[in-house]
Amino acid sequence: MVIQRCLSGPVITITVLLLLLVLPVNVLGYGSLGPIAAAFGENGFFCAIDAGGKQEIICWDKGDNFSVSTSTAYFSSLPAMASLSGGEEFICGITSNNSQAFCFNLSNPVGTRFVGLSAGARHFCGVREDNHEVECWGNFDLASIPKGSGFMAIASSDYATCGVREVDLVLDCWGVHGKSLPDYSPPLQLCSPGVCWPSSCGHGKFAFNASLLNEPELTNLCVRKDLKICLPCGTNCSEGYFPSSTCSENADRICTACSLCQNSSCWDVCGLHSSPGVKLQEQDIKKLVIIIGSSVSGSMLILIVWCCIPRIFKTKDDQNIKYHRSFCIGKKVVEAEPDPNPEPPLSISMCIGETQVFRLSELKDATHGFKEFSELGRGSFGFVYKAILTDGRQVAVKRANAATIIHKNSREFEAELEILCTVRHSNIVNLLGYCAEMGERLLVYEYMPHGTLHDHLHGELSPLDWNLRLKLSLQAARGLEYLHNEVAPPIVHRDVKTSNILLDSEWVARIADFGMVSANDRDVNGDVESDVYNFGIVLLEMLTGRKAYDRDYEPPGIVEWALPLMRRGRAAAIIDRNVPLPRNVEPLLKLADVAELTLRENTSERPSMSNVATLLDQIVKIGLIF
């Protein structure tokens, strides 16, 4: 019996190794919990739990002569561990006293304490104990990790991690390096930050107070008033913030922006002076006020003298040059004649001044809480909702999904907003305002009451006659021409289709969903032709009444079906028979010729949108005779 037990282990081990060598399998490695763990990577090391009864940690690296134990200062701060698991140059464990996650590495002698830990296929993420920010390890896109936001809880899938933000209890998601984040679009409704418990919160924790959310109808996040959600107190604030209050029984510490720091209690944390311990004295403040006051007075004196001296300036019109003498005080200034072709505003402050800034609560009320029955559709930016503002205006509100938000920081949003709010054209769905509050990105656009071109051609909305189809084709072409040629920098739509052509109250075509323009989108070389090609598909849908891709037909693609017929001189065979044909079909045949040009395989042979608009304008002028 003893011999059999001794041999069974090696025999099984050899058998398993032979199977692993023979079978062509792909395996993902996960660190399992145990009393010993290895941190892999160039700075890898090993740690084990000492069996002396105190569950202390003993660690050593891959060198031959290096070994440390918990008795040294390096590991003296590590807590007792119940189990360990390794990762990329770090080790995480479960503490034996309170069963919390704790991670450390060789470059961090005190370790980083975490109050939450989550693991995906190739990454770990944890919520720091001090400021509740997120740290991630492994194959991860560091740029996508949210900065400056505290989190209550996190969870991971294979290629993404989502968390509940502590500032507003809204979900936020970020992704793994090299993998596109799934199209997550978390609801705007609040998410619970933790589990409801009947017992009181212990030391270092606080009971979450729902009144902090400024929701009048919300008094408790638990179904029973005697239950509470206990959360760990934060000890430090994120960079750029200072703790304006400490953690109490019913509230976490409050972090305030350093821009609001007004006394010496926050100077050290915010770094408002050159060296620690040096405080700005009252006398220094008085001197600073005197200096600033003198500078302002001097500037005002110079300005007054400059304005009171007679000035001569000139303006030019088409006929001659006009000279004006003026004083800026007490007399009306003769203004120069306005420039007939003024430059569009380039300053973000000027641009934002032309649009309305909405409150999140206002848009939430206007869309009935972003409920499904208010939804108009979905685009590349996110969900689109119909909203009725307090002044009675009907608008369309685009709410960015999580994937859009995490890939665009505030500076990118401002830069893109600067472009969007300068876009003004009768064939574009123009931006009316925006909201950048509580981490949300909301854009408010003109509302188009007659829906999309797609719904009229293929849906349940009223069909369009040929006169209107020709006019809509020209109007849509002019909208794209404007984006390509008159916006600086030019905008390439990248998603031209009938569902992104909307009809306003006057049945005028408006281009929509050209959306948020990134820096890469501004490089229009080789991309404008794709808009032209996609517009050719729109023209085919106008002519045929068929969808761009429909499995009920063979071939299912409209281009593969229509182009061969058009190039064999049989364009009349593709014209939509569900709409009465006009007596003069010549404009429709010319429309087919324009579509064929835009669908040329060689991009150099395709016309520009300006040329397309010119050709369509000539067709519309021919008119249709019924």
Q: Quick check: 503 and 466 in contact, CB under 8 A?
A: no
Q: Which two tokens stand for residue 195?
A: 């589990």
The Cα–Cα gap between 498 and 482 comes to 18
Q: Which two tokens stand for residue 528?
A: 């404008």
- Of the candidates 455, 495, 504, 550, the residue annotated as catalytic is 495
- Radius of gyration from C-alpha coordinates of the chain: 33
Q: What is the side-by-side strand order in the sheet with 81-86? A: 81-86, 91-95, 101-105, 108-119, 123-128, 134-138
Q: Quick check: 440 and 382 in contact, CB under 8 A?
A: no
Is residue 495 among the annotated active site residues? Answer: yes
The Cα–Cα gap between 576 and 585 comes to 12
The Cα–Cα gap between 437 and 10 comes to 63
The residue behind tokens 């905008």 is 491
The Cα–Cα gap between 199 and 230 comes to 9
DSSP-assigned letter for residue 426: T
Reduced to 3 states (helix: H, G, I; strand: E, B; else coil), residue 564 is: helix
For 362-409, the three-class secondary structure string (H helix, E strand, C coil) is HHHHHCCCCCHHHEEEECCCEEEEEEECCCCCEEEEEEECHHHHHCCC
Which residues are CB-contacts of 142 (< 8 A; sequence separation ≥ 6)? 136, 177
Active site residues: 495
